[in-house]
Structure formats: structure tokens, C-alpha cells
């Protein structure tokens, strides 16, 4: 049995693991996909203290290295639930069961889809959710970014450096991302920003995407854009389904927990850290802060057993 199992190896989970090891607890981190979490999709992180500019994957690698150097154990598996009782919790995963005295949920969130027919069919064949991962495939091609927030604008800036043309399609009448990013895009000669439009259809031959239909929110006029690729950057949704019987989720699926990272739960010893919980600001800095708080709370809990 471990002292603490951390579910998710993003910034929150890896920081929780680091603090828990420094409190001399045994720690297992279970990650289903990519060590470092969402930030590994960011080409440049320029707001995390200590690094003027660093790629998200380098930052994730450094966090992972720091945690494993301290003796944190890592397992690649998908967690499907938590059960048990005070002092003896069972974490169920696809590959088996793991036991711990305390569990920290740090499962973050993942990209929101457009919800259009054929979106899954064209994923990887023209539809992408990550410009930093797939942008290189679209060098000298025409692409669209759907979304107008920070992630969308960052990705549009990145794509405009190598693509022939970049459309930014935003459903609202204005962009919601940082003004500095919008100004960079304004200065680019290969970028068109199209506000007040939604994507209504993906066009293709059943194998590869060749364009999209967009609808003007004011006039309802539908037009077609011929494209080689479309990047969807319309926000995130939490991945807390496996924990709905263990902790209380809000209407949007986030774990109801405050700055103390203590969710309303029928299982004592369960904590929630990072983007998976209710909070106003979802960033690396707030995720690592949660990781520290949750780990120290878990360590204190274990010491009372
Ligand atoms: C494109 C992009 C750019 C960004 N740029 C910045 C930036 O410049 N600065 C900044 O501060 N923030 C940025 N962010 C936000 C930042 O990445 C997040 O706020 C931060 O990663 C949240 O950390 P987390 O550990 O809470 O969650 P995540 O990073 O989401 O990590 C959660 C981990 O849990 C894993 N997981 C989920 N469910 C399970 C399960 N059932 N079993 C096992 N593992 C599971 C996931 O695979 C994931 O690795 C950006 C995000 C994106 C997508």
C-alpha cells in the first residue's frame, strides 16, 4: 500500500508528488497519456516564474524529472474509479487495482470538441486540437483556428509562422484572448480574423477534410472556406467522470473544492488539485500551488491515522 496515490501527471499532480515525497510519504503517480499534462501542448510558456520563456514540453519534462529524482513511482494507466474507507482507499485502473491511505485527484481537463458530425472521422485527417503537435504538417497550407481565447490566439500566431494562410473563426463579435496576442495577429499579413461566425459543417470526401462551412451569427448567411486543416481551440472540459460517486461535481463537471483542495467527499483522505477543481484561474502557477496544498493536507491526514 502507498501512502499517497496521485491521479494525473500534470503540473498539479507532479507538484503534489514532489511535496509528498519531501514529507517522506511513499507516492505513486498514475498517468494515462502524457507526462506533464496539458502544458506539453503549449509552444511557449512565458508566465511561469523562473523561466522567461520555456516550451511546455520542456517544463513538463523538468517537473517529471524533479519528482522521479525524489523517488516518486510512476505508472502508465487509466484510472476508472476510487472506493474504500478511511485509511484504505482502492484506486481502480484499466490495468488493475492500487491501494493507498490518501488519494489526490489531479486529472486536469481536456479539449472541447465542436460536436459536429464526422469530427471524429476527420480527426488526424484535417481536424486537430493541438497546433504545436500537428502544425508542422500544415507548412505552406491553408488552415483555420476555431476559437478566440488565449490558446486559440497563441496557436494562430504559431501557425501563421509556417502556414500560407490562417483564418481565426470566433463565435463572439470580439476576441477574448490577450490584446497583445490579437495585436501580433493584426500585424501578420497571412491572417484573417472572422468574428461572429460558427462552424456548422466539416467538408471532405469521407477520408480527408477539404473545408468547413461557417454561419454568420447576425445574418445567418452560410459560406464555405477551402482548407487543408482546422484546429479546434474552444476551451477545456474536466475529466472527472470516474470520480462522480466519490466526490461532488458542479454543473460543469468540476470537483467542488476550495483553496484547501478538500472536496466534499464520502471518502476521507481524497483531495483534488489543479484544473480539475472549481477555481477562477486555470494556469500552471495555480495548478502547482494546488499540488503543494493538497500534498501537505494529505500528509497531515495520513499522520492522523
Ligand atoms: C495549448 C495550451 C496552452 C497553455 N498555455 C499556458 C501558459 O502559457 N501558461 C500557463 O500557466 N498555463 C497554460 N495552459 C494551462 C495549463 O496547461 C493548465 O492550467 C495546467 O496544465 C493544469 O495542470 P493540471 O495538473 O491541473 O492538469 P493537466 O495539465 O490537465 O494534467 C492532468 C493529467 O491527468 C491525466 N489524467 C486525466 N484523467 C486521468 C485518468 N482517469 N487516469 C490517469 N490520468 C488521467 C491527463 O492525461 C493529464 O496528463 C495552457 C494550456 C493549453 C492546452
Give the residue among 66, 97, 83, 67 at the shortest CA–CA distance from 2.
Answer: 97
- Catalytic positions are 130, 133-134
> 261's torsion region: left (phi>0), alpha (psi -120 to 50) or beta?
left
C-alpha cell at position 76: 502508465
Which of ligand 1's atoms lies nearest the C-alpha of 290?
26
pLDDT, position 203: 98
Which of ligand 1's atoms lies nearest the C-alpha of 78?
42
pTM of the prediction? 0.81
Residue that the C-alpha cell 497550407 belongs to? 141
Degrees (nearest 5) of the Cα angle 215, 220, 224? 35
Give tens-digit pLDDT for 67-114: 999 999 999 999 999 999 999 999 999 999 999 999 999 999 988 999
Ligand 1 centroid to Cα of residue 121, in Å, is: 25
First to last CA, the chain: 14
The CATH homologous superfamily of the domain defined by 119-232: FAD/NAD(P)-binding domain (3.50.50.60)
Give tens-digit pLDDT for 129-172: 888 778 888 999 999 999 999 989 999 999 999 999 999 999 99
Ligand 1 centroid to Cα of residue 206, in Å, is: 32
Nearest CA to ligand 1 atom 45: 8
**Domain-wise residue ranges, the chain:** 2-111+236-303, 119-232
The CATH homologous superfamily of the domain defined by 2-111+236-303: FAD/NAD(P)-binding domain (3.50.50.60)
CB 101 within 8 A of CB 27: no
Q: What are the pocket residues of ligand 1 if the criterion is a CB atom closer than 6 Å to any ligand atom?
A: 7-13, 30-34, 37-39, 41-42, 45, 47-48, 78-79, 106-109, 151, 239, 242, 274-275, 282-285, 287
Q: Do the domains 119-232 and 2-111+236-303 match in fold?
A: yes
Give the residue among 130, 150, 110 at the shortest CA–CA distance from 57.
Answer: 130
Ligand 1 centroid to Cα of residue 108, in Å, is: 5
Please list the residues that pair with 277 across neighbouring strands. 255
pLDDT, position 42: 78
Amino acid at each position: 500500500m502507498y501512502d499517497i496515490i496521485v491521479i494525473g501527471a500534470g503540473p498539479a499532480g507532479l507538484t503534489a508528488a514532489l511535496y509528498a515525497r519531501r514529507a517522506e510519504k511513499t507516492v505513486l503517480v498514475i498517468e494515462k497519456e502524457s507526462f506533464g499534462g496539458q502544458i506539453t501542448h503549449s509552444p511557449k510558456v512565458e508566465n511561469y516564474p523562473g523561466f522567461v520563456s520555456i516550451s511546455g514540453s520542456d517544463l513538463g519534462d523538468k517537473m517529471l524529472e524533479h519528482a522521479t529524482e525524489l523517488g516518486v513511482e510512476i505508472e502508465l494507466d487509466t484510472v476508472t474509479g476510487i472506493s474504500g474507507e478511511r485509511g484504505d482507499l482502492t484506486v481502480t485502473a484499466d490495468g488493475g487495482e492500487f491501494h493507498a491511505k490518501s488519494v489526490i485527484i489531479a486529472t486536469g481537463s481536456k479539449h472541447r470538441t465542436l460536436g459536429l458530425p464526422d469530427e471524429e472521422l476527420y480527426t488526424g485527417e484535417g481536424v486537430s486540437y493541438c497546433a504545436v503537435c500537428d502544425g508542422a504538417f500544415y507548412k505552406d497550407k491553408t488552415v483555420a483556428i476555431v476559437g478566440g481565447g488565449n490558446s486559440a490566439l497563441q496557436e494562430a500566431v504559431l501557425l501563421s509562422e509556417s502556414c500560407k494562410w490562417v483564418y481565426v473563426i470566433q463565435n463572439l463579435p470580439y476576441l477574448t484572448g490577450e490584446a497583445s496576442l490579437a495585436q501580433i495577429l493584426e500585424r501578420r499579413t497571412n491572417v484573417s480574423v472572422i468574428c461572429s461566425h460558427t462552424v456548422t459543417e466539416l467538408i471532405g470526401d469521407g477520408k480527408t477534410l477539404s473545408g468547413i462551412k461557417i454561419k454568420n451569427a447576425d445574418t445567418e448567411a452560410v459560406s464555405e472556406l477551402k482548407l487543408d486543416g482546422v484546429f479546434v481551440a474552444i476551451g477545456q472540459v474536466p475529466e472527472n467522470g470516474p470520480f462522480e460517486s466519490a466526490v461532488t461535481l458542479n454543473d460543469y463537471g468540476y470537483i467542488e473544492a476550495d483553496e484547501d483542495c478538500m472536496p466534499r467527499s464520502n471518502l476521507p483522505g481524497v483531495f483534488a488539485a489543479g484544473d480539475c477543481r472549481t477555481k477562477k484561474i486555470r494556469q500552471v502557477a495555480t495548478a502547482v500551488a494546488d499540488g503543494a496544498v493538497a500534498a501537505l493536507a494529505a500528509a497531515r491526514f495520513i499522520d492522523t491515522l
